[in-house]
Amino acid sequence: MTIYVDIATVYDVTLLVICGYALFRGGRPERWGAVINLGGSGLSSVARLSGVASWAPGEWIVFVIDLGVAIGFYRLAITTTRFWPIWALGFALADLFVSVAGRFLPGTVLLAYETGLSAYAYLSLFALALGTWRLPADASPQLRSGARPCLSQTKPSGSASGSNSPDPSSSP
């Protein structure tokens, strides 16, 4: 039983160090990534330790939490200029696939199932750490926000409507 406690301790320390690094050093996308990772790990741990969910593959409560993490990374990936949320989304989707596969393959060894889930969790944390590390320390506020430019505000023609035809109200 000690090996499982050691593995959980290493993961928790890694989670706290990387998410703390992202919260203090990162921009808006990195902070949201830290919140998503902390929230997903925390809710999964609470569900399993409280007895609401078991450690068996395919627990529906843990699956719903993992689905929420995937949706969070999807939303982050489509609203930011950063590339790392796409990787984190991919790892979250792989995590969902492992959960579904574990549910439909009852002979799945618990250690293999948990190892698969933790591998994707570590990879997601690595993507967050790398994205935070690549952000320059002296980044501008716009770069720190990571927001995609809104295409509907200014079009190449210079008009807000985006049409290339002259404005009829400005005709002499």
- The SS3 assignment for 160 reads coil
pLDDT at 80: 94
Q: What is the mean pLDDT of the segment spanning 36-65?
A: 85
Identify the pLDDT of residue 108: 64
Is residue 151 predicted with pLDDT exceeding 50?
Answer: no
Q: What is the radius of gyration, based on Cα positions, of the chain?
A: 21
Four-point Cα dihedral 122, 127, 132, 135, nearest 10: 160
Tell me whether residue 61 is exposed, middle or buried, using C-beta atoms within 10 angstroms of its C-beta: 0 to 12, 13 to 18, 19 or more.
middle
User: Does residue 62 contact residue 48 with C-beta atoms inside 8 Å?
Assistant: yes
Report how far residue 100's alpha carbon sits from residue 153's, in angstroms, rounded to the nearest whole number.
Answer: 42
Cβ atoms of 128 and 86 closer than 8 Å: no
Distance CA 145, CA 139 (A): 10
Does residue 66 contact residue 164 with C-beta atoms inside 8 Å?
A: no
Mean pLDDT of the chain: 83
- Cβ–Cβ < 8 Å for 94, 102: no
- Quote the CA–CA distance of 128 and 40 in Å, as a whole number: 14
Q: pLDDT of 75-134, one tens digit each?
A: 999 999 999 999 999 999 988 888 887 777 766 666 666 666 778 899 999 999 999 999
Confidence of residue 152 (pLDDT cuts 50, 70, 90): very low
Q: For residue 111, what pLDDT is reported? A: 61
| Band of pLDDT at residue 164, cut at 50, 70 and 90 | low
Q: Which residue has the higher pLDDT, 154 or 136?
A: 136
Q: Residue 156: is its pLDDT beyond 70?
A: no
3-state secondary structure of 15: helix
Higher pLDDT, 144 or 152: 144
pTM for this entry? 0.79
